[in-house]
Amino acid sequence: MKKTILAAAAALSLAMAPGAFAQEPLKVGVAAEPYPPFSSVDSAGNWSGFDIEIGQAICEEMGRECVTTPVAWDGIIPALTSGKIDMIVGSMSITEERQKVIDFSDRYYYTPAAFVAPAPVEVDTDSADLGGLVLGVQSGTTSAAYVRKAYPDAEIKLYNTQDEVNADLAAGRIDVMLADQAAMVEYVKTPEGSQFEVKAVAPEDEAFGEGIGVGLRKEDDDLQADVNDAIAALLESGRYDEIAGQYFEFDIYGGRE
Amino acid sequence: MDFDWLPRYWPLLVEGFWRTLWLVALSGVFGFLLAIPVALAQVAGGRILAGLSRAFTTTIRGTPLLVQLYLVYYGLGSLMADIPAIRYGPLWPYLRDGFWYATFAFTISVAAYQGEIIRGGLLAVPRGEIEAARAFGMRRSRILRRIWLPRALQVSLPALSGEAILLLKSTPLAATVTVIDLFGAANVVRSETFLTYEPLLFVAAVYVLCAFVIAVAFRLIERRVPSRRGL
């Protein structure tokens, strides 16, 4: 009797999930440096945030098991291409430069970058030297690529993490910072960020790419198709808005009627 | 291998190269000038000065340079930002710049490591030479200036040359406090082109060249300093 059940179970599992049967859990790469509200980590090492939840929802939609794997941001693309992780769900903008090395899913959100500065500071975003202001930005981001191009004469400071940019803006070592609008809108609401204001939103630029997508290896075409289907399904079912509603007061997907 | 980016980023790399050289030169010179009193305090400074100097050396040599740099930049630097007289004072354009914090941290580090080497040099000078100087009626300060210190530095030169190269190789830490030195420039190239090896290999080659120049320069100095060899 026992044997028949085992045999039946084995046959069933083989029949049901030819692919999923031997599949390893997918390693979902996130930036090891927290980036609230997209990703943050508690003292026990549990990750939460919009990116994390969307990543999990995509995995559930695909019927795959996933593990959140933190990787240092400036090494996250090499980590993907070398197979240490299988996908990047880390607020990564889809850009031409990155597309030379990796593929992206369809976008899962889109926000432009915003200039943030202490309330009394005037930010002249039209002059090539930013009116002599010192600007801080996290290196390896679309914001960094944009300011290096748009403000060739400005003094630009590059940081490893957004936290350090925030700290130095508070300490007055930089006058203004440019970072993702969604993160900045939240930041100026926090106690540390309350002395700052969103001064301007950066214009649309190719440096900012086509929005934020899931980063994937070029050869993983099947996974890319699955992820795209999953994102479409999440948008369709309303699950996306359910998750986004917990974090944002505006439509983070952008461009929807 | 793809080096197409090189012309486009050349000005940035040159700027970074000069910043690296300035970091090495400033912290090397000031660190050396500080290292001499650090060494003298231990060898001839009396109990209190010797104790202070030993505590300084032990602390600095016992903590990672990156930790010191962060303490100086994020700790001391942020403290100063809280003092209005400093934050709105005339020196703020310098005091907000990571470069000077890095220079300060490296100077302190050089003072501790080189101080220890020079201390060894001071102890290695044969007592007979100092006694001979005293027999000539030289005062302590003159003995120090003419005999003891020059002889000690001469003994220390090979080790100081090694320290200078170690300093050169420590300067990339400055990139963590927003200084775009040679390594910082390579990081910009890396993050904008997504090339991993080429920018790093390029700056590695530049560092090797610089280290070579430092080594040769010290060897020239060693050769110019007259000494009796093979005693």
The pLDDT value given to residue A16: 47
Mean pLDDT comparison of A24-38, A91-105, B31-45, highest-scoring range: B31-45
Look at the block and give the residue holding tokens 């280290």: B211
Q: Which CATH architecture has domain A23-110+210-247?
A: 3-Layer(aba) Sandwich (3.40)
The pLDDT value given to residue B229: 54
The pLDDT value given to residue A40: 92
Residues near A64 by beta carbon (within 8 Å), at least 6 away in sequence: A20, A23, A25, A26, A226
Confidence of residue A21 (pLDDT cuts 50, 70, 90): very low
Q: What percent of chain A has pLDDT over 90?
A: 56
A5 pLDDT above the threshold of 80: no
CA terminus-to-terminus distance, chain A: 59
Of A100, A145, A158, the CB nearest to B178: A158
Cβ of residue B154 closer than 8 Å to a chain A Cβ? no
Q: Facing residues of B201 across strands?
A: none
Average pLDDT over residues A45-70: 94
Cβ of residue B81 closer than 8 Å to a chain A Cβ? yes
The pLDDT value given to residue B149: 92
Look at the block and give the residue holding tokens 């029949």: A15
List the domain range (segments joined by +) for residue B138. 5-224
A129 pLDDT above the threshold of 60: yes
The C-alpha of B6 sits at a distance from chain A's nearest C-alpha, in angstroms, of 16
Q: Which amino acid is at A135?
A: L
Quick: pLDDT tens for B161-196: 999 999 999 999 999 999 999 999 999 998 888 888
Listed as own residue / partner, the contacts of A17-21 with beta carbons closer than 8 Å and 24 or more positions apart are: A20/A63, A20/A64
Average pLDDT over residues A96-105: 91
Quick: pLDDT tens for A62-85: 999 999 999 999 899 999 999 999
The C-alpha of A205 sits at a distance from chain B's nearest C-alpha, in angstroms, of 16
ipTM of the complex: 0.76
The pLDDT value given to residue A8: 55
Cβ of residue B172 closer than 8 Å to a chain A Cβ? no
Q: Which amino acid is at B144?
A: L
Confidence of residue A1 (pLDDT cuts 50, 70, 90): low
Q: Cα separation of A227 and A221, whole Å? A: 10
CATH superfamily of A113-208: Periplasmic binding protein-like II (3.40.190.10)
How many domains does chain B divide into? Answer: 1
Output the six-digit token pair for A145. Answer: 């690529």
Lowest mean pLDDT among A33-37, A230-234, B19-23: A33-37
Closest by alpha carbon to B121, among B166, B153, B81, B80? Answer: B153
Cβ of residue B76 closer than 8 Å to a chain A Cβ? no
A23-110+210-247 and A113-208 in the same fold: yes
Residues of chain B below pLDDT 50: 230-231
A172 contacts on B by Cβ (under 8 Å)? 81, 87, 92, 96
Mean pLDDT comparison of A24-28, A214-218, B125-129, highest-scoring range: A214-218
Of A134, A148, A172, the CB nearest to B87: A172
The pLDDT value given to residue A175: 94
Angle at B26 between CA B22 and CA B31, to 5 degrees: 145
The pLDDT value given to residue A17: 45
Q: Do A171 and B193 touch (CB under 8 A)?
A: no
* Sheet with strand A134-138: strands edge to edge: A155-159, A134-138, A176-180, A113-118, A196-201
List the domain boundaries for chain A: 23-110+210-247, 113-208
A163 contacts on B by Cβ (under 8 Å)? none
Evaluate whether B40 touches B121 at the Cβ level (below 8 Å): no
**What's B107's domain CATH number?**
1.10.3720.10
Q: Facing residues of A68 across strands?
A: A28
Please state, rounded to an integer, the average pLDDT across all residues of chain A.
Answer: 87
Q: Cα separation of B38 and B42, whole Å? A: 7
Confidence of residue A255 (pLDDT cuts 50, 70, 90): low
A18 pLDDT above the threshold of 50: no
Evaluate whether A202 touches B108 at the Cβ level (below 8 Å): no
Confidence of residue A24 (pLDDT cuts 50, 70, 90): confident
Evaluate whether A177 touches A154 at the Cβ level (below 8 Å): no
Cβ of residue B77 closer than 8 Å to a chain A Cβ? yes
